[in-house]
Amino acid sequence: MLAKEDLSKAFEDILESVIEETGLGTSSGVQLNRHQQRTVDRLHKFVNSSEYKRSSGSSASTSETISFCDDFIADWEASGLNSSPVQQLINLLNRPHIRGLLWSTEDVSAKRFAPELPAVPFEVDEDEGIAVKIVRIVRRDEPLGATIKCDHGGRVYVARIISGGVADRSGCIQEGDRVLEVNGESVLDKKPDEIVQLLNKCDGGCVTFKLIPVEVWHNHSSKAHNNNEKSHIHLRALFDYDGTNDARHPCPEAALNFRRGDILELLVCNDEYWWQARRLGNGALAHSREESKGVGLIPSELLQQKSARPEDRRKNTSQKLVEKDMDDLFYESVCKLKSSSSSSNSRPIVLIGPPGVGRNELKRRLLMMFPERFSTTVPHTSRSARNGENDGIDYYFTTRKNIEKMIENDEMLEFGEFRGNLYGTAVSAVRMAKLKGTPLLTPHPLALRQLRTSEFMPFIIFVQPPTFHDFKETREAFRSRTARTQSSASSTSQTINSMGRAFTDSEIRQIIENASNIDRNYGHLFDSRITNTNLDDTMSDLIKLIHNLETKSTWVPLNWATRCVDG
């Protein structure tokens, strides 16, 4: 224990040397004034306090040190003395970062790494005669990450804990805990929005709950269940979802919004109606961990099925759109297909889009640039071969009867009649094309029903038109550029395609409208999208996309995969 007299003496010595240094007096002894005596008193108490001693002399409570500095500064200023070293010290002590440093040094030396919370006692509740727990959560600006539900008797329960949220991280609140009080106020018979108000009225980011813990066995079994469910369930969203506008949502702030084609990782799905999930990105190449931070509640398949209006259902034709009938589904189970598999090289690349958008131009250019790499289908026709045409190279020449039979057997991807002859692309032609390279296909979207199968595993790219203005401008520029180069080459075999087609305004509008119809009806099947504005840019986007398909894992329907890897 340090004697007060020793401390006074030390203080006097310091004052003396300051007076000497400022030349205001002699070193023949100093009498402490009232202020200075009070400071010595405080210092004495502080140095002898148990907290100071507990952590080897370095961990004064935070407020004590700062107030000690403040008192020193006040005393010095009151003394009316001048000393440039002391003034420098005062300047330093007043700097925010030095103060911050003092706070943190003390916190660290006192091992205060987190806000000090009261212990969580289990106590006997006088009213109920059962054990309760008091939980104080510091949430600052973050949402609590929990939802509540009320039963018919006005009792309130924790309905869900959002994975990774504040409540989850605290480890002190469990789903099923009964809430008795929030910040000291009973919640019995309170309406959910009144409870939300109570929660928002928290003091300095702290919320205190009085809870009756859910039965331990129940807790264990549901945790185990959750962990099982957690193991790598991934879904592709087949619809757009905005939870903030969903009147069914139990807690819109905890909603996870998503778009069609987003890949969702399911974290908790033991609730019949609301699942916890996070977004991994959009499309078959989604892989971003960056996007996967926020966990939120999404409606389950069952809830969507129950509340779907007829217009939410995509099935507007009598035909199934895909192999597995997913037209009434809202999510599709997916897994990751390894990039290195040789299968990714022969997965057909299917360019879907409205006629006129440029699918065949892109295909033609890819075939020209990489003739060894890509292949295309040879169509069937019922007309007879012309001079120079070879069977199996220009067309598969066959009879009308044969093509009709193939149509009947669902063996044609698409077909049509022109000048009394049948033309079309057979499913078998895709198999043949696969033998020669990666098939590049530009079919009508209805053909996806036969193509989107585990046999072909196509990569489907939606080629969308740009805005009206950009469409018009790029097509006109392309036409005048090709006209210039072709006239200088004085070519005699100019085709409309190589020249670039002229589009009227109404044709452009029609293309844009067709694109949005295709998107509405088939958008949930697209693996990726490109906008065909400038042809060179579109080509480089397409080549990049195909490179990614070859080198990265892609999300594919679960039922396709024999070589799926974990997400």
Ligand X SMILES: Nc1ncnc2c1ncn2[C@@H]1O[C@H](COP(=O)(O)OP(=O)(O)OP(=O)(O)O)[C@@H](O)[C@H]1O
**Binding site residues, ligand X, CB under 6 A:** 353, 355-361, 442, 474-475, 478, 496-497, 500-501, 532, 534-535, 538
Q: What angle do CA 464, 466, 470 make, to 5 degrees?
A: 155
Kindly give, in sequence order, each residue whose CB lies less than 8 Å from that of residue 409, ignoring residues fewer than 6 positions away. none
Q: Could you give the CA distance from residue 242 to residue 256 in angstroms, rounded to a whole number?
A: 8
Closest separation between CB of residue 479 and ligand X, Å?
A: 7
432: helix, strand or coil? helix
Report the residue number, 62 or 360, with the smaller CB distance to ligand X.
360
Closest separation between CB of residue 546 and ligand X, Å?
A: 17
Report the residue number, 343 or 494, with the smaller CB distance to ligand X.
494
Q: Which helix (H) or strand (E) holds 434?
A: helix 427-436
Q: Residues 261, 262, 267, 269: is their CA dihedral positive or negative?
A: negative
Closest separation between CB of residue 535 and ligand X, Å?
A: 4
Task: Tell me whether residue 266 is exposed, middle or buried, using C-beta atoms within 10 angstroms of its C-beta: 0 to 12, 13 to 18, 19 or more.
Answer: buried
Kindly give, in sequence order, each residue whose CB lies less than 8 Å from that of residue 481, ignoring residues fewer than 6 positions away. none
Nearest to 177 by CA among 145, 212, 132: 212
Name 22's bridge partners.
none
Closest separation between CB of residue 494 and ligand X, Å?
A: 11
Report the residue number, 253 or 470, with the smaller CB distance to ligand X.
470
Closest separation between CB of residue 510 and ligand X, Å?
A: 11
Report the residue number, 216 or 496, with the smaller CB distance to ligand X.
496
Closest separation between CB of residue 442 and ligand X, Å?
A: 6
Report the residue number, 466 or 523, with the smaller CB distance to ligand X.
466
The secondary structure of 503-548 as a DSSP string is --HHHHHHHHHHHHHHHHHHGGG-SEEEE-SSHHHHHHHHHHHHHH
Q: Could you give the CA distance from residue 324 to residue 454 in angstroms, rounded to a whole number?
A: 10
Amino acid identity of 205?
A: G
Report the residue number, 359 or 524, with the smaller CB distance to ligand X.
359
Closest separation between CB of residue 525 and ligand X, Å?
A: 18
160: helix, strand or coil? strand
Report the residue number, 281 or 356, with the smaller CB distance to ligand X.
356
Report the residue number, 525 or 556, with the smaller CB distance to ligand X.
525
Cβ-proximal residue to ligand X, closest one = 358
Kindly give, in sequence order, each residue whose CB lies less than 8 Å from that of residue 136, ignoring residues fewer than 6 positions away. 117, 118, 206, 207, 208, 209
Closest separation between CB of residue 374 and ligand X, Å?
A: 16
